[in-house]
Amino acid sequence: MKSIRRNLTIWLLGGLSLILVAAGAGIYVAVRTSLIKAVDAEMAVDMQLLRNLGKAESEPSFAGKGFPKGIGKGPGKGPSRRVPADRKFLNKIPAYDDLESGSFYQSWDGDGKLDEKSASLGERNLPKIERTTPDPTFAFDQLDNGTPVRLLSFKVAPGGKGRPKGDRRRPENGTTIVIARDMEATEKTLSTLLGGLIAVGFVAGLGTFALVGTAVNRGLKPLRGLGTKTREINSNSLDFRFDDGGAPAELLPVYDRLNDLLARIESSFERERRFSSDLAHEMRTPVAELKTMAEVALQWPEKADTSTHQESLDIAQQLESMIENLLALARWESGELSLRPEQVSLKEAAEKSWEPHAKKAEERNLEVEFDVTDEAALRTDPGMLRHIFDNLFSNAVEYTNEGGRIEVEAQGDRFEITNSANGITEEEVGQFFDRCWRRDPSRSDSAEHSGLGLSLARACAKALDLSLSARLEDSKIRFSLFPEEKMSPASS
């Protein structure tokens, strides 16, 4: 039970721990991704603005005299100006001059020389990310003082009107611009979030450990009770049955199987008790007879004659036969056999097994009919099959009423013997294969029948993977022998 509890606890805690770790990691990644996307979106807006300023800066400027007629005038206004070429980008984005803004800017001209940087950088510099195309690039890096930043690098290609004719400047000759955002606050937020997730996970882990332990203990309580009740069962209390009232639904199949097992064990014990009682009764009479005859022979030795010795020999042979049958039954039921299977003709085997019983059947005026086809056959051990046939024929000849009828049939691999029921009831049919059971309540002293024949026949059949059954049909008893895989409810 400790092993089950430990394994359940380990598996549950392991699974819940994985779930908590996965959930925490998912939350952390989602929040981090969201914060970085927000920063990237802000920098993308600034990038677009700087690109537009770059285009405006590259256009011609006109001031004062010589201002072209009709250009740049508006109603009631004097001449207006384009953005002068000597004006810097940052004049339009004052946030980069705020030392507390956390926004940085730096640019390099087409020759790679420092062109401009934001006042917020002070003496620090942003790393230059070389690009050969105008496509923007995001990256993480640090300033000279170790401040973590998110970078966006892009190029502004020279262009616009006013270029000298033939001046074909390439994009790589444009201005390289790097803008950045201070990520220290974001990193602190993420660190705080991570610490919170770890703390919550730790507390949740402790709570889960306590809850899982309690749940497992409570869940296994019915099993402990089941084990306690099972331990109290012994050979004197096999009639005990587990009450499944109030039992967990998961244990109901276990209760059912245990009750079925107890029923089978009780039936087996009862059968063994009955067998022991029957065996003692069967052996008591011949032993008492031998004892009496021995005492008489000792008391009056001169009166001993041949008939006395013959009677003693018959009793000894009866005991020997009973003992041999019991030993054979024990061997066959335990599977201690060496089988030699071969294709056996049921017709030939049945005819040979019937020969020793034909004379007694004639003496009792029994009508016998054989309906066994030549094709009927079984692959089995011929010696054990004949032993089954011998016991079935002996039982039929012995217990069929005087002048009754015996029918022997075989087709394919199925063999059947039917004889008159002679008043046999359904309850008695169910006891046919019990050891030492005989219908006669007076327990006759027949040396030929000790009530073991049908038990031996069924044990042999089981060893051969055959099914031997008996049923009552129209005041007749039908014994059926056939391979187990062909067993049907009607013949069980």
Over residues 349-372, the pLDDT tens digits come to 999 989 888 888 888 898 889 998
pLDDT one-digit tens code per residue, 161-215: 434 444 444 555 677 888 899 898 888 999 999 999 899 888 888 888 788 778 7
Q: What number of other Cβ atoms are within 10 A of residue 171's Cβ?
A: 15
Q: What is the pLDDT of residue 33?
A: 93
pLDDT at 391 over 70: yes
Residue 437's pLDDT is 59
Find, among 417, 441, 418, 421, the residue nearest to 429 by Cα.
421
Task: Select the highest-mean-pLDDT range: 40-44, 59-63, 251-255, 272-276.
Answer: 40-44
Q: What is the pLDDT of residue 336?
A: 61
Q: How many other CB atoms are there within 10 angstroms of residue 127's CB atom?
A: 15
Concatenate the DSSP letters of all residues of 322-373 into one string: HHHHHHHHHHHHHT------EEEEHHHHHHHHHHHHHHHHHHTT-EEEEEE-
Q: Which residues have C-beta within 8 Å of that of residue 416, sequence separation ≥ 6?
A: 408, 409, 410, 478, 479, 480, 481
The encoded tokens of residue 226 equal 């089941």
Alpha-carbon distance of 422 to 401, in angstroms, equals: 5
Is pLDDT at 81 greater than 60 in this prediction? no
Instruction: Give 84's DSSP letter.
Output: P
Residue 151 burial (CB count, 10 A)? 21
Q: Are the beta carbons of 153 and 175 closer than 8 angstroms?
A: no
Sign of CA dihedral 254, 257, 258, 259: positive
First vs last C-alpha separation in the chain: 40
With a threshold of 0.75, does the pTM exceed it? Answer: no
Structure tokens at 413: 């691999």
Model confidence at 76, pLDDT cuts 50, 70, 90, reads very low
Indicate if the pLDDT at residue 275 is higher than 90.
Answer: no
Residue 13 contacts residue 208 (beta carbons within 8 Å): yes
pLDDT in tens, 218-271: 777 777 778 888 888 887 788 888 887 777 777 788 888 888 888 888 887 877
8 Å CB contact between 394 and 419: no
* CA nearest neighbour of 176 among 152, 151, 155, 150: 155
Transcribe 8-38 into DSSP letters: HHHHHHHHHHHHHHHHHHHHHHHHHHHHHHH
Alpha-carbon distances, residue 221 vs 50, 351, 489 (angstroms): 73, 64, 41
List residues bridging with 182 in a β-sheet: 149
What is the gyration radius of the CA atoms in the chain, in angstroms? 53
Buried b (16+ CB within 10 A) or exposed e, 300-321: eeeeeeeeeeeebeebeebbee
